[in-house]
């Protein structure tokens, strides 16, 4: 069963409280960048893990009550993110009309249906639900934008490796020169590509940053496991956010032979022999 | 003469248009992180440079019209960033009262003065200007938060080096493994510390990131100049955002002898002799 | 029981054949550099391991038969390495006298005793054994030179870690850009200092080099073990040459907390929990 | 006019004294490794530069006086390096016959001609000169061995860049962790491949090493010049040993676009504009 949540924090709280099994929350948008509420909501509080990623095209319509003409529109309302992604197109269509913030795009559609405002930037499905009609479709300034959502659950059995996975984590690094370089090096020496890196302030300490990272590979792989263990040693804190199938349609870099599980296993056996005096 | 601007984009546009000499805009907040509107506003459009940084404590009051009692308050209004930074404290003071978004904290104060809403989270000076009184002072969840503002102008003569400066830039890196590592390495080999790194999506290309960086030192220094020139070679694009006196109250790492201007000058003379056959 | 060997290869062969338990062979000299016969003798053939290192001062005398006056000496004989280390001093003492090579310094002393040559550069003990007397003592051009000897055995139980150990190995790296950098990086990311690095041609392949390395630490330590295992993965070949107490009188760099065995053990437990879904 | 020299040090001394214009000296051998006398002779004393490299196949014959039968040979004489490179083959041909050192392979041939010894390992031309005949040809244990010679002169105008050059240098690095890694990094960040690295003890300071390096490229190139200037800053000492056409028959790695002279020139112009306030 699916149910809507009032906000990202509310959705994550429902998962943590055991009220739902999982939440699908937006993590980043190809135009607007990361979603701070999700970033911070995963980094703080009881542990949650990502078990899946989903990419959805961003589609906005400019919706009004039936019968409204463009020249009748005195204001446009939407969530600030949606207004930001449609600002130029909306200004072209409705020159000089002020844009007002709403708490969500769905709330904006409802407010237009209720007659509080005249036009909303919202998803086509929200327009339909509240009986609105599109004054203009596809009003995103950058057509082709997509939003990456992640399915988040309480910790449990990990998704099995598929051979084409991603691993997410948050690392808090010491406040010193080269700390981030050291973190990146732990991936590089083990032949692991990063697919995303975002910095976030740590709320409790001025100007100390944490880094939210996605890398190729699954924690069950030796190379990823050893890299995570290394971060656990060298960072102030590391939070594992899950390993899950890659779904962005891009191809992972082939695992170099020397970073494959077989190479790690072979090296471990060799080392065990050395330590036993059987060179 | 100082004048307020409706928004960060408006302030930057006024500078670009030559209507004002400079704009003081928020770049990052110690709790909420970077301010996307400023980041993107500096990275895109005609070049602008930072000539100064200023750190201001974040102070919020919960303000109402005179005579309003806590139990009378049916809604709280403010800019979403301000609501985010005061959410817990406001919820403690006004349990169950909904929080509504406004386009700015000043607009929220005015809306309360106009009777549209009952309480606003805003700066003390805004409360005073609109005749409001504080129901509670210092309502930030994380006391001690500061916002870093930067003074932004059209390009011109650079501020003179003071010996304790910062340099800001935006680098767009190729979409390949190790690209960010390469950028960081150009600073590390020249003994330069980074003080901030933020990633931002590049709006035109899916999942290609740019990095907004601050480093210690002034572009007039040899080490910083050589590092910037190296980035110009290895990055897809580099935008210089200024060199200006450091004002965050932290001490820059001493410049290692081998990275001082004298060492660079000496090395250049030596190299010129080699090339002339005078080993 | 101790017995002399005709040469380094002969000494190593005797160990390999089981004729003796161990051989004490010179590995490097503070003036002349590495001893190729020992380097190559350890790198090729059946595996041998170093169990101890010993540093001995280099002391040379210029020895003659009793009664020989400086003006009587028509030639000086010694091993080429010894002649190289005493060339200037001997030339000062015996201007114009030719220096001739011998297969060892002991053979040179014997040849003088036999009347085949007039003077030998040899160790004081060799002069004494063959009834020679010193024409000049301490004839090394660089006083204070020492030779590093290593005690070499067939593989067996390793010397126990002492907390101040060295580990020796030979790594054959692929013939590609950055291969050596990659090797050094495996040590650097794990907080391990190198104390020696020598390159040697690999005899079978033109211009492919192997690197003979000493690092701080014992293979029983987690950081050293993981670094060796990494080299086993990324190098074409790695030969372990032993872990043994450091005896050069220099202080090892303190092991950083994040590279201590406890940090590795803690990280492994953490990783095991992650993989079991117990974040 | 060409003339032989008694030894490498003698050849280098003749160049330094102005007695000859240049000396062709062996730098390294594909089997035996570097030639210490040449390495140290170039690193110490008045500056000399390499202007050319030449690779010559190593060819040894086992030579005797005419009429000598294998069973007549009671000893074999040669320079220790030549004995080392032919030990197995000579032992097969002349089982049990002792090998004796000579000061050079030419001296060995002469000694056999003079009747002092019975067989010499020497170059075919030396056998011919002294009237010896080959008992066996091509007696090198590793057929195909080559020796790299370098033509060395007093400093003067450099050979012009050819687009496929090598640059040689000696760097003395500080006695600290990571010093060599730092040196290699200066090449790596500028897209320069190393073709040789050898460590040598610095004669005056115990266990402090210098590194003798060859890299691709010419000092007249911007990337090589900047790398050398960087080493001049970060190393205790750097000695430039010349830039000259590559002659080893191997292909240099293509210069990456971002490391080409044009990219450096473009970056310098850009930096100059930044510094002038013309962003």
Interface test mutation site (partner C, options A46, A176, A235, A267, max chain C beta carbons within 10 A): A267
Q: Does B144 touch chain A (CB under 8 A)?
A: yes
CA atoms within 13 Å, Cβ hemisphere of C181: 19
Give the separation between CA B127 and CA B110, rounded to whole angstroms.
Answer: 9
| Residues paired with residue C66 on neighbouring β-strands, in sequence order | none
The answer to whether residue B206 scores a pLDDT higher than 70 is no
Same domain, D119 and D148: no
Q: Which residues contact B203 (CB under 8 A, 6 or more apart)?
A: A31, A142, B40, B44
Q: Quick count: other Cβ atoms within 10 Å of Cβ A259?
A: 23
SS3 for chain D, per residue? CCCCCCCHHHHHHHHHCCCCCEEEEEEEECCCEECHHHHHHHHCCCCCEEEEEEEEECCCEEEECCCCCHHHCCCEEECHHHHHHHHHHHHHHCCCCCEEECCCHHHHHHHHHCCCCCEEEECHHHHHHCCCEEEECCCCCCCCCEEEEEEEECCCCCCCCCCCEEEEEEEECCCCCCHHHHHHHHHHCCCCCEEEEEEEECCCCCCCEEEEEEEECCCCCHHHHHHHHHHHHHCCEEEEEEEEECCCCCCCCCCCHHHCHHHHHHHHHHHHHHHCCCC
C 26-85: CB under 8 A from A:
47, 49
Taking the CA atoms of D4, D9, D12 and D18 in sequence, report the sign of the dihedral they define. Answer: negative
The pLDDT assigned to C207 comes to: 65
Interface test mutation site (partner D, options B267, B268, B273, max chain D beta carbons within 10 A): B267
Same domain, D267 and D173: yes
Region D261-270: mean pLDDT is 97
**Facing residue for C188 by CB, picked from D28, D181, D204:** D181
Answer yes or no: do A186 and C186 touch at CB < 8 A.
no
**Facing residue for A33 by CB, picked from B184, B193, B200:** B200
Our answer on whether D and C touch (3+ beta-carbon pairs < 8 Å) is yes
Place B177 in a pLDDT band, splitting at 50, 70 and 90: low
Interface test mutation site (partner C, options A187, A230, A241, max chain C beta carbons within 10 A): A230
Give the separation between CA B136 and CA B62, rounded to whole angstroms.
Answer: 5
Residue of higher predicted confidence among A219 and C85:
A219
The pLDDT assigned to C175 comes to: 67
Answer yes or no: do B144 and A206 touch at CB < 8 A.
yes
Min CA distance, A94 vs chain C (Å)?
51
Last residue of a domain, one of A101, A136, A171: A136
The pLDDT assigned to D2 comes to: 78
C-alpha dist (Å) from residue D178 to C189, D181, D234: 11, 5, 12
C153 and C20 in contact (C-beta within 8 Å)? no
Residue of D nearest to C207 (CA): D30
Place C176 in a pLDDT band, splitting at 50, 70 and 90: low
Answer yes or no: do D219 and B189 touch at CB < 8 A.
no
Taking the CA atoms of D214, D163, D20 and D128 in sequence, report the sign of the dihedral they define. Answer: positive
Same domain, A184 and A271: yes
Q: Does C204 touch chain D (CB under 8 A)?
A: yes
A33 and A136 in contact (C-beta within 8 Å)? no
Q: Number of structural domains, chain C?
A: 3
Answer yes or no: do A275 and C158 touch at CB < 8 A.
yes
Give the separation between CA B143 and CA B136, rounded to whole angstroms.
Answer: 14
* Token reading at D127: 């056998």
Answer yes or no: do A103 and B102 touch at CB < 8 A.
no
Same domain, C184 and C226: yes
Domain range enclosing A181: 158-278
The pLDDT assigned to D83 comes to: 86
Same domain, A260 and A165: yes
A 176-195: CB under 8 A from B:
177-178, 180-181, 184-185, 188, 193-195
The predicted-structure confidence for D180-228, as pLDDT tens digits, reads as follows: 888 999 999 999 988 888 887 776 666 677 889 999 999 999 999 999 9
Same domain, B197 and B268: yes
The predicted-structure confidence for D163-174, as pLDDT tens digits, reads as follows: 999 999 999 987
Same domain, D107 and D195: no
Same domain, C169 and C104: no
CA atoms within 13 Å, Cβ hemisphere of B250: 15
* Token reading at A18: 């055991």
The pLDDT assigned to A1 comes to: 72
Give the separation between CA D212 and CA D106, rounded to whole angstroms.
Answer: 29
Region D73-100: mean pLDDT is 88
Q: What percent of chain C has pLDDT over 70?
A: 96
Among residues C162, C165, C188, C167, which one has the least CA distance to residue C240? C167
Same domain, B98 and B189: no
The answer to whether residue D40 scores a pLDDT higher than 90 is no
* Token reading at D176: 């600290």
Between B101-105, C151-155, D37-41, the lowest mean confidence (pLDDT) is in: B101-105
Write A123-127 long-range contacts (CB < 8 A, 24+). Answer: A123/A59, A123/A60, A123/A61, A124/A59, A124/A61, A126/A63, A127/A61, A127/A63
Answer yes or no: do C279 and A240 touch at CB < 8 A.
yes
In chain A, which stretches have pLDDT less than 50? Answer: none
Give the separation between CA A171 and CA A43, rounded to whole angstroms.
Answer: 9
The pLDDT assigned to A76 comes to: 94
Same domain, C149 and C173: no
From chain B, the residues in CB contact with D50 under 8 A are none
Quick check: ipTM above 0.90?
no
Backbone angles phi, psi at C262, to 5 degrees: -65, -40
From chain A, the residues in CB contact with C220 under 8 A are 275
- Read off the CATH number of the domain in which A208 is found: 3.30.70.260
* Token reading at B11: 């302030």
**Facing residue for A279 by CB, picked from C47, C182, C233:** C47
Last residue of a domain, one of D70, D101, D136: D136
Region D153-162: mean pLDDT is 96
Same domain, B119 and B93: yes
Among residues B118, C172, B34, which one has the least CA distance to residue A200? B34
Min CA distance, A135 vs chain B (Å)?
24
The pLDDT assigned to D102 comes to: 78
Answer yes or no: do A30 and B146 touch at CB < 8 A.
no
Backbone angles phi, psi at A189, to 5 degrees: -65, -20
* Token reading at C48: 């041998």
A102 and A77 in contact (C-beta within 8 Å)? yes
- With tokens 């933020």, the residue in question is B198
Same domain, A269 and A201: yes
The predicted-structure confidence for C200-254, as pLDDT tens digits, reads as follows: 777 666 667 788 999 999 999 999 999 999 999 999 999 999 999 999 888 888 9
The pLDDT assigned to A227 comes to: 98
Between A20-24, B44-48, C190-194, D142-146, the lowest mean confidence (pLDDT) is in: D142-146
- Read off the CATH number of the domain in which B38 is found: 3.40.190.10
The pLDDT assigned to B122 comes to: 93
Q: What percent of chain D has pLDDT over 90?
A: 59
Between B195-204, C85-94, D60-69, the lowest mean confidence (pLDDT) is in: B195-204
Neighbors of chain A with 3 or more C-beta pairs under 8 Å: B, C
Q: DSSP states of C25-86 as a string?
A: EEEEETTTEE-HHHHHHHHSSS--EEEEEEEEE---EEEE-TT--GGG---EEE-HHHHHHH
Last residue of a domain, one of D102, D120, D155: D155
């Amino acid at each position: 069963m699916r149910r809507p949540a009032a906000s990202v924090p509310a959705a994550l709280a429902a998962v943590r409280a055991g009220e739902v099994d999982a939440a699908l929350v937006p993590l980043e948008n190809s135009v607007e960048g990361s979603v701070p509420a999700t970033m911070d909501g995963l980094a703080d509080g009881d542990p949650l893990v990502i078990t899946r990623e989903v990419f959805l095209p961003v589609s906005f319509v400019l919706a009004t009550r039936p019968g409204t003409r463009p020249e009748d529109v005195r204001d446009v309302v939407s969530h600030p993110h949606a207004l930001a992604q449609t600002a130029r197109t909306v200004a072209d269509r409705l020159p000089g009309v002020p844009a007002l913030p709403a708490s969500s795009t769905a709330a904006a559609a409802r407010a237009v249906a209720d007659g509080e405002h005249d036009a909303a930037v919202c998803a086509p499905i929200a327009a339909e639900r509240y009986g609105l009609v599109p004054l203009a479709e596809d009003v995103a300034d950058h057509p082709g934008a997509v939003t990456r959502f992640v399915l988040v659950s309480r910790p449990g059995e990990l998704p099995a490796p598929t051979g084409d996975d991603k691993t997410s984590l948050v690392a808090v690094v010491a406040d010193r020169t080269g700390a981030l370089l050291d973190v990146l090096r732990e991936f590089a020496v083990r032949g692991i590509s990063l697919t995303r890196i975002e910095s976030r302030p740590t709320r409790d300490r001025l100007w100390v940053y944490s880094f939210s990272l996605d890398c190729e590979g699954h924690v069950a792989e030796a190379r990823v496991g050893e890299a995570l263990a290394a971060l656990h040693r060298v960072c102030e804190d590391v939070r594992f956010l899950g390993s899950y199938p890659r779904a962005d349609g891009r191809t992972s870099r082939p695992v170099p032979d020397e970073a494959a599980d077989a190479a790690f296993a072979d090296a471990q056996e060799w080392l065990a022999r050395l330590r036993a005096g059987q060179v």
